[in-house]
Amino acid sequence: MIRELALVCEDTSIVSILNRLGYRTGNGNTWTEKRVQPVRHTNGFPASPPPDRRLWITMQQAAAALGVSEMVVRRLTAQKSLPAKQMVQFAPWMIERSHLDLPRCPQTDSTSSRGPGRRAPFVVPSGQSGWFSNSVEKVR
């Protein structure tokens, strides 16, 4: 599990996930960074590479790379348009960086004046009044 989590997580995040799941060390202790590092070194698991060089990224990083909100990425993974996996509960969803180039994934549209991940503003049709148009009171 530590090897897989190190693909997308720093040691501090790995510690948090292991402790939330209730996993203990061989001596029955809770996990700390000082206890995760020897496990990685002893088994030859590399530390997590810098975020820009990772082959696997989190949903937040995928959203930033695509220029959309995290909710859009969640929707794409739920629809199976963007493959993602979660090793265990509380672990981050992992998305292979190369999958961001799939044709089903939205790309950032630089011509949009609203900005990435923004909806068009709500406009009241011309023949219809707004919800609270009659409740405006004068302030004394």
Q: Where are the beta strands (DSSP E) in the chain?
A: 56-57, 95-96
Residue-wise pLDDT tens digits, 88-125: 888 888 899 888 887 666 654 443 444 555 666 666 56
Amino acid 102: pLDDT: 74
Please tell me what DSSP assigns to residue 56. Answer: E
Residues with Cβ within 8 Å of 3's Cβ and at least 6 positions away in sequence, in order, are: 40, 43, 45
Q: Which two tokens stand for residue 32?
A: 């700390």
- Residues counted in the chain: 140
- What confidence score (pLDDT) does residue 23 get? 93
Q: Are 63 and 24 in contact (CB under 8 A)?
A: no
Say whether pTM exceeds 0.75. Answer: no
Residues 6+ apart with CB under 8 A from 21: 88, 89, 90
